[in-house]
Structure 1
Amino acid sequence: MTYQTIQTSLSTKGVAELVLNRPEVHNAFGDVTIAEMQQALRDFAANPAVRVLVLKSNGKNFSAGADLNWMRSMAQKNYQQNLDDAGELAELMRLLDNFPAPTLALVQGAAFGGALGLVACCDIALAEQSASFCLSEVKIGLIPAVISPYVMRAIGERACRRYFLTAERFDASAASQLGLVHQLVDAGQLQSAADAMLQQLLQNSPAALRCAKELMAAVYQQPIDPSLIDSTSARIAAIRVSAEGQEGLTAFLEKRPPAWLASTENL
């Protein structure tokens, strides 16, 4: 499929890439980009060949957040139109947050506003040391509403009390300390760090990775009661008797590589 604002690809090893491709406007996004990202995520999610999704961007900046023309159009819309518009961004965040395979965000330059929400929705985030982040909405009379559940989960309520209200920029080191970013790399080393992370992920059972994501979604912030205990017991029992579970256990006992372990060279 041909897109206007993004690029997509899928390698023979199952690495899908979704690339923001509006470097001339710092990869700011509007309704077209949101719709295209939704479509790409749905297509990748439905493809069993996808083992990992990489979210990245072309140019100096990951994304400056909302496109000015998009924001200008929203100012002219009524409440219902704004509600529908916000719903599309919310659906994008939901699709990324619930993507069935592991997701990896690569951040360079600025990740502002909604772009910070995209990072928070990914399972793993790598950033260059020079990257910067900002929840700038209150500066222009708005709030980071749609992305707030994901950002608060990523960095916690206490940090959000500061950055939602001050709209100040914070650097990659602070993002790492807050838990938004998992690893910092020197300039120009983002792709090599991503390749190393991909090699780590691709060693693991594709089915187990998907089940692990489902497990986290089901368990997070739930009370440890008999219902949850029964649920987790059922999940491990089911994967033990699954094809990949049986293969993984057999390979471990026979001291051989499991069948899914493809070469991770030349990603």
Structure 2
Amino acid sequence: MKTLPDCEHLLLNEQNGVLAITLNRPEVRNAMNLALVNQLMTVFTAIEQVPAIKVVVLRGANGNFCAGGDLKDMANARKAVNAGKDDVKDPFYQLNRAFGQMISQINAAPQVVITLLEGIVLGGGFGLACISDIAIADSQTQFGLPETRLGLPPAQIAPFVVERIGLTQARRIMLTGARFDGVEAKNFGVVHFVSNSNEEMSQLLAQQLAQIQLCAPNANRTTKRIMLSVGKIANKTLLDNAAQDFSMAIQSAEGIEGTNAFIEKRPANWVR
């Protein structure tokens, strides 16, 4: 496996095929600046072709998941605009688009991505929750998309929120900047599980990890790619491609091992 990169704003810990990534800017409630965004992309690029890493667990340091975008980055972008250099591309566009590239990359990651949501989950943090495969939230977590109250659109986040919870609910929470807790987030479909303590959150995480370990890594990667193709390409093409994926899988070492393990009533060799 490739050595994981050193990241100033991320804590990384890999054990038994699970990579824990902790957003580590607690002094600003883990708000994302451009450096953190780039570091996340670097990590996900490094593990993209590493089947040994089956799961990524994202959380924030010191009891907060993420306060969204760091307004200091926006202030720096404004200074660059005011400098008026002709050779400088629009820094606001570049800053905003970088976040969209990061969230798109994590959305398409072949690993199962789990978010542990505590404290506050705002703006870009909300976007990360919406692209996770499994989201576990503390019941008291405060969710929201406050961008419109700042005179801004949630530009890169909006498509992922609509895809996660549907247009009807997305309209209300984006156009009012409403705050809501973990229980309501579960009712919306933002999160899958709600906990009432750190211990319960750890138990829920352990249960999900145990279930994921029963699944073959390549089969999970292929399944995720098929799901993310729904609505993006014609259904006939999607099903043709999926049939090719199935044929390759059943003839692969993983597929042969899985079917043999089922027949022989034993755990497959990828089960830890």
What is the TM-score normalised by the length of structure 1?
0.92
Within 2, Cα distance between the matches of 1:41 and 1:229?
Answer: 28
The within-5 A match list for 1:75-224 is 75-78=78-81, 80-188=90-198, 189-220=200-231, 224=235
Q: What amino acid maps onto 1:156 in structure 2? A: G
Q: Does 1:39 align with 2:50?
A: no
Residue 249 in 1 paired to residue 259 in 2? Answer: yes
State the Cα deviation string for residues 29-57 of structure 1 (Å, max 9, x = none).
11111111111111122323211111111
C-alpha displacement of 1:205? 0.6
Structure 2 CA distance for aligned equivalents of residues 76 and 156 of structure 1? 37
1:222 and 1:6 mapped to 2: Cα distance? 35
Structure 1 residue 72 displacement after superposition: 1.9
Please list every run of 5 or more consecutive structure 2 residues that lacks an aligned counterpart in the other structure. Answer: 82-88
Specify which of 254, 263, 269 is matched with residue 259 of structure 1: 269
How far 1:190 sits from its partner (Å)? 1.8
Deviation of the 1:232 alpha carbon? 2.6
Partner of 1:55: 58
2:141–2:181: 8 Å Cα contact kept in structure 1? yes
RMSD: 1.5
Alignment-mate amino acid for residue 5 of structure 1: H
Take 1:205 and 1:30, find their aligned partners in 2: how far apart are those partners? 35
Determine the C-alpha separation between the residues in 1 that align with 2:150 and 2:23: 24
Contact 2:122 2:145 in 1 (8 A): yes
Report the CA distance between 1:65 and its aligned residue. 0.9
**Alignment partner of 1:239 is 2:243:** no
Provide the residue aligned with 2:20 in structure 1: 17
AA at the equivalent of 1:56? R
Counterpart amino acid of 1:245?
G
| Secondary structure of 1:76 counterpart | helix
For 1:50 and 1:146, locate their aligned partners in 2 and report how far apart those are by CA, in whole Å: 27
Q: Measure the CA separation in 2 of the matches of 1:233 and 1:102.
A: 22
User: How far apart in 2 are the matches of 1:47 and 1:239?
Assistant: 18
After superposition, what is the alpha-carbon deviation per residue over 1:214-236, rounded to whole angstroms, capped at 9, x for unaligned? 11122346554x43332332222
Is the 2:130–2:190 Cα contact (8 Å) retained in structure 1? yes
Of 17-26 and 136-145, deviating more is: 17-26
Q: 1:2 aligns with which of 3, 6, 20?
A: 6
Q: Which residue of 2 aligns with 1:65?
A: 68
- Helix, strand or coil: the match of 1:211? helix
Q: Residue 62 of structure 2: SS of its match in structure 1?
A: coil
Q: C-alpha distance in 2, partners of 1:29/1:171? A: 21
What is the distance in 1 between the residues matched to 2:189 and 2:233? 21
Answer with 95-104 or 61-70: which moved more: 61-70
Is the 1:18–1:56 contact (alpha carbons within 8 Å) kept by the matching residues of 2? yes
Q: Which of the residues 230, 238, 244 maps onto 1:228?
A: 238
Residue 120 of structure 1 contacts residue 150 of structure 1 at CA under 8 Å; is this kept in 2? yes
TM-score under structure 2 length normalisation: 0.91
Following superposition, the deviation at residue 2 of structure 1 comes to 2.7
For residue 198 of structure 1, what is the amino acid of its counterpart?
L
Question: What CA distance in whole angstroms lies between the structure 2 residues aligned with 1:128 and 1:230?
Answer: 41
